[in-house]
Amino acid sequence: MSGMNQVTDRLRERVRELLADGKIHTFIGYERAWDPYRPIPFFATEAGEAERLIIDELCVPSTPKYMLDFFGREGVVGLLVKGCDSLAVERLLRDHRVERESMYIIGVACTGLLDRDKVKARALEEGWGAVEEVRREGDAFVLVTAAGEKELGPEYLMERCRTCEVKVPTVYDELLGEEVAATAEPRDFAEVAEIEAMTPAERRAYWERQFSRCIRCFACRNVCPACNCRICVFEERVPRWLGRKTDVGEQEMFHFTRALHVAGRCVDCGECDRVCPVNIPLRKLNRKLMKDIGELFGIEKPFMPAETEPLGQFRPDDPDEFE
Amino acid sequence: MIYRTLKRESMAVLVDRLKEGGLVAPVREDGVVVFRPIQGDREVASDYINPTNSVKDVFLPQTESLFRFNTAEKGLEIEATPPEGPKYVLGVRPCDAAALELLDHVFAEGQYTDSYYQRRRAEVTVIGVACDQVGESCFCTAFGLSPGHRRGADVMMYRLDDESYLVAFEGERGHRLAEEYPDLFGEAPAEETIEAVVTSYQSREVPAGRVELDGITEKLDGMFEHPLWAKLAARCLKCGICTYLCPTCHCFCLDDEALGYEGVRYRCWDSCMYPDYTLMAGGHNPRPEKANRTRQRFMHKLNYFVHNHGEFQCVGCGRCVDKCPVGLHMLAVIYDIKGVDSDGGQ
Amino acid sequence: MSVKESWEPKIIGFCCNWCSYAGADLAGTSRMNYPASIRVIRVPCSGRVNPQFIARAFQLGADGVLVAGCHPGDCHYSTGNYFTRRRMLLLTRFLEYLGVDPDRFEVRWISGSEGQKFADTVREFTERVRALGPSPKKRDAS
């Protein structure tokens, strides 16, 4: 397996061309920033800026949702897209929030991203200094740091990447690098089963503890590609669905509502969970609904965007446990 | 200013006593450290750089009830709801404590003061703990603070040796605490020892704090229309992480919530990063673009606050550096501002 | 929060206009007895029932919530209750996952002629909720 950084030069070359030819006005990729272990989204608007683009297994943030910021603007935006990002693109396309013609998508195959928090903690503890390159060597990751080359095993993979079989983007205009096999651990929803196994009182206490930390920053909603309404339910004043008071009841109402609004449309990208500043395990909410949808309605891949979403359709012979 | 010592083993006793009056302190929970009321089986955390939320939560709660109203019987009845809360907050780092004095500029000084905030400031004792570890994203020294700075703290604890702390008590609230529990606090060590300990904390190296802020306010005076803001704002997620975790951010909204004949008017946090923060009745929004809002946030902290109150509105706690999902934080912005020509060139 | 001696279960029932509400009406005109624990909220179709209604009902003090609609296949709007069925299947599991006792949430298909079924449902549901006691999920209304 080779790492994504192999295509860096080709990526920069292509973006330089696209910007210079005026085919796109902006390219959204990644650059290494103040914290070299956490590359950030980078918006190149001139050919000369292509040099700043990087792509490797630390490039985690999902970028397709930025297309909503370009809504209504003329011209084409270039996007660098990994597998999970491509599902986000499909979600936005199917929800009619972005036009396919307004994007030029450069896809890159990805064998799994690094858990940045884990890597950062190790780097700080062992004094690695800055990182300037990330490679893949077989199952392992090799980081070129100020303290020399450091090897990290597959246990440093992001949790969500273990079970991801979308190694190659499902939508792109051109693909950089080689295709890779779609192998992944089975999506067994173990973390959901763990909560299902608790007693009702334990579950109530668990969720109350999680939600009581919520500060209603809306980062989870803002990063989610399925949360793409022009006016979000939580922004509507009439009717007022959610008060601004931050007691546990309101926090729960927020998470309950958001989980149900994205039910059947969530692409399991895990960004909500990653951006939460207070470690609320949001994936455990969305994946519970995903698991049930898959089981109840016989959908093999409930995270894959489809022609019609599960809660927007029905079958006369759907399961019925009500009398 | 009085000094005493506190044995490590007496810390638990102190915590128990403070709990009686209501104590908020850092607690480790599900992989984060957050300021929480110490109740039930919660334990005070010790090994942390800074809790994720800030001490602002105690003095300017995210939701603060102002008054209740009732229209059932005699027309409109209004009943003020006085502020409630803990009497002590423990484990406050010097940056958070200093932030309180910045909030004081807004809520406790000048012609208009906030009685809810002032009441808490008068009644809550801030017990600080100087920093043994300095985080990678800490930059307090850029703002004249340090890992041992006492500004804003009624009490500051320094590690004296493996078995005890050196405790500094300042002001009315600080002295009151020293007098309340004379059995817990031992005699102060020699003056040279005190000075050595305090100096070692106050001169501790803070790598990220080496950023030079001289002239930045003046430079920003001419940067209102600069293209930098749009460039920075492009990656902003428009969430409230930076504003809500920041110990000096204080924007709020007033709202009513009623059911039937009864209701409450409350103040709650709001974020200038939200698109509808400046949305007015009638539909006009003076800050419709992300660039407008990003500019507002950083101008406020590095320029407007300086003009209004004489100092920067940042204490270098590093929370925005750690938690912004897209790296749009104070250090990144400061370096970007320094790196551009103020007339719009790159 | 202490329990009053005279606590009676408070149940919110969302009933669709064409079937279950008519069934409730029939129970009334036929002088069938059922507990006064239920507060009926009429909706045009069970498909109109937003999961947020149910969550809010529990939060504001409901001890039990009932959603009643037409039998699948008999919806006045042809397909409304098919969507209800999918949504409620998901919701029963999700509420349970969040710690709500599943016995406090009931979904029933009650036709316009099933007055007896409506009365029986309310009676059985009320007794079940009574045995569980007041709902712990309460928030300050203000």
Q: Report d(CA A32, CA A41) in Å as an integer.
A: 9
Specify the residue for token string 């409450």.
B264
- b/e B82-115 (16+ beta carbons within 10 angstroms → b): ebebbbbbbbbbbbbbbbbbbbbbbbbeeeeebe
Which residue does chain C place closest to A257, by CA atoms? C52
Measured from the Cβ of residue B48, the count of other Cβ atoms closer than 10 Å reads 18
Which residue does chain C place closest to B264, by CA atoms? C142
Q: Report d(CA A178, CA A168) in Å as an integer.
A: 9
Q: Do A41 and B239 touch (CB under 8 A)?
A: no
Q: Cα dihedral angle (C19, C24, C25, C31), rounded to 10 degrees?
A: 140
The reply to whether C5 touches chain A by the CB within 8 Å rule is: no
Instruction: Among A180-189, B142-151, B230-239, B312-321, name the one with the lowest average pLDDT.
Output: A180-189
Q: What's residue B220's pLDDT?
A: 97
Which residue does chain A place closest to B54, by CA atoms? A215
H or E element at residue B59: helix B56-59
By residue count, chain A amounts to 323
pLDDT tens for each residue of A187-243: 889 999 999 999 999 999 999 999 999 999 999 999 999 999 999 999 988 888 888
Q: Do A322 and C85 touch (CB under 8 A)?
A: yes
Measured from the Cβ of residue B181, the count of other Cβ atoms closer than 10 Å reads 15
Could you tell me which residues are beta bridge partners of residue A27?
A44, A78
Which chain B residues contact residue A244 at CB under 8 A?
63, 253, 255, 266, 268
Which chain B residues contact residue C60 at CB under 8 A?
259
Q: Report d(CA B149, CA B240) in Å as an integer.
A: 28
Measured from the Cβ of residue B41, the count of other Cβ atoms closer than 10 Å reads 5
Q: Report d(CA A236, CA A213) in Å as an integer.
A: 24
Which of C72, C94, C140 shows the shortest C-beta gap to A289?
C94
Which chain A residues contact residue B239 at CB under 8 A?
217-219, 221-223, 275
Residue B273 φ/ψ, nearest 5 degrees: -85, -15
Contact B129, B188 (CB under 8 A): no
Q: Report d(CA C95, CA C102) in Å as an integer.
A: 7
What token pair was written down for A53? 């683009």
Find the farthest-apart pair of alpha carbons in chain C and give their distance in angstroms, rounded: 47
Q: Report d(CA A322, CA B6) in Å as an integer.
A: 65
DSSP type of residue A25: S
Helices C80-97 and A283-296, interaxial angle, to 10°?
A: 130
DSSP type of residue B79: E
Q: Is the pLDDT of residue A289 over 80?
A: yes
pLDDT tens for each residue of B286-308: 999 999 999 999 999 999 999 99
Which chain A residues contact residue C54 at CB under 8 A?
none
B83 contact partners, CB below 8 Å, separation of at least 6: B64, B116, B119, B120
Q: Is the pLDDT of residue C141 over 50?
A: no
Q: Is the pLDDT of residue B124 over 50?
A: yes
What token pair was written down for C107? 């979904």
Q: What's residue C139's pLDDT?
A: 58
Could you tell me which residues are beta bridge partners of residue C14?
C41, C67
A93: pLDDT confidence band, cut at 50, 70 and 90?
very high
Contact B237, B325 (CB under 8 A): yes
Q: Report d(CA A221, CA B238) in Å as an integer.
A: 10
Tell me which of B77, B256, B259 to substitute to probe the interface with C (most C C-beta atoms closer than 10 Å). B259
pLDDT tens for each residue of B228-270: 999 999 999 999 999 999 999 999 999 999 888 999 999 999 9
pLDDT tens for each residue of A19-42: 999 999 999 999 999 999 999 999
H or E element at residue B195: helix B191-202
Q: Are strands C11-16 and C64-69 parallel, antiparallel or unpaired?
A: parallel
What token pair was written down for B321? 């550096």
DSSP type of residue C70: P
Type of residue numbered A127: G
Averaged pLDDT score across all residues of chain A: 94
pLDDT tens for each residue of C36-66: 999 999 999 999 999 999 999 998 889 999 9
Contact C139, C9 (CB under 8 A): no
Q: What's residue A1's pLDDT?
A: 54
Q: Tell me the mean pLDDT in the region A267-290.
A: 97
Q: What's residue A243's pLDDT?
A: 87
Q: Report d(CA C137, CA C1) in Å as an integer.
A: 11
Q: What's residue B346's pLDDT?
A: 47
Q: What's residue B8's pLDDT?
A: 93
Q: Which of A186, A182, A147, A145 is nearest to A163 (CA)?
A: A186
H or E element at residue B262: strand B262-269
* A to B CB pairs, distance under 8 Å: 100
Contact A14, A173 (CB under 8 A): no
SS3 call for C109: strand
Chains that contact A by 3+ CB pairs under 8 Å?
Answer: B, C
Which residue does chain A place closest to C110, by CA atoms? A323
Q: Do C89 and A253 touch (CB under 8 A)?
A: no
Which chain A residues contact residue B34 at CB under 8 A?
213, 278
End-to-end alpha carbon distance in chain A: 54
Q: Report d(CA C19, CA C71) in Å as an integer.
A: 8
The reply to whether A237 touches chain B by the CB within 8 Å rule is: no
Tell me which of A28, A43, A222, A224 to substitute to probe the interface with B (most B C-beta atoms closer than 10 Å). A222
Which chain A residues contact residue C79 at CB under 8 A?
314
The string of DSSP codes covering C80-93 is: HHHHHHHHHHHHHH
Query: How far apart, in Å, are the Cα atoms of C45 and each of A139, A189, C58, C76, C109?
Result: 55, 34, 21, 8, 12
Q: Report d(CA C48, CA C16) in Å as an integer.
A: 9
Q: Tell me the mean pLDDT in the region B89-109.
A: 97
* A to C CB pairs, distance under 8 Å: 97
Type of residue numbered A193: A
The string of DSSP codes covering B212-240 is: --TTHHHHHHT-TT-THHHHHHTT----S
Q: What's residue C137's pLDDT?
A: 66
Q: What's residue A148's pLDDT?
A: 96
- b/e A105-114 (16+ beta carbons within 10 angstroms → b): bbbbbbbbbb
What token pair was written down for A285? 């909410």
Could you tell me which residues are beta bridge partners of residue B32?
B29
Averaged pLDDT score across all residues of chain B: 95
Query: How far apart, in Å, are the Cα atoms of A252 and each of A103, A222, B101, C134?
Result: 36, 18, 34, 20
* B to C CB pairs, distance under 8 Å: 11
Residue B36 φ/ψ, nearest 5 degrees: -140, 155
A183: pLDDT confidence band, cut at 50, 70 and 90?
confident
pLDDT tens for each residue of C60-114: 889 999 999 999 999 999 999 999 999 999 999 999 999 999 999 999 999 999 9
Q: Do B325 and A219 touch (CB under 8 A)?
A: yes
Question: Percent of chain B scored above 70 by pLDDT?
Answer: 99
Type of residue numbered C108: R
Radius of gyration from C-alpha coordinates of chain A: 21
Angle A195-A200-A204 from CA coordinates, rounded to 5°: 80
The string of DSSP codes covering A86-133 is: HHHHHHHHHTTSS-GGGEEEEEE--S--B-HHHHHHHHHHHT---EEE
SS3 call for B110: coil
Q: Do C97 and A318 touch (CB under 8 A)?
A: no
Q: Report d(CA B60, CA B21) in Å as an integer.
A: 19
The string of DSSP codes covering B35-66 is: EEE--TT--B--S-SS-SS-THHHHS-SEEEE
Which residue does chain C place closest to B258, by CA atoms? C142
Which range has the top average pLDDT, A88-92, A109-113, A159-163, B160-164?
Answer: A88-92
Q: What's residue B344's pLDDT?
A: 66
Beta strands in chain A (DSSP E): 26-31, 40-44, 77-81, 103-108, 131-137, 140-145, 148-152, 174-176
Q: Tell me the mean pLDDT in the region A107-130.
A: 95
Q: What's residue A177's pLDDT?
A: 84
Which residue does chain C place closest to A254, by CA atoms? C52
Which residue does chain C place closest to B67, by CA atoms? C142
Q: Which of B214, B210, B247, B28 is nearest to B136 (CA)?
A: B210
Q: What's residue C142's pLDDT?
A: 41
Could you tell me which residues are beta bridge partners of residue A41?
A30
Q: Is the pLDDT of residue C6 over 90?
A: no
Write down the pTM of the prediction: 0.94
What token pair was written down for A185? 């651990």
Distance from CA of C49 to the nearest CA of B (A): 21
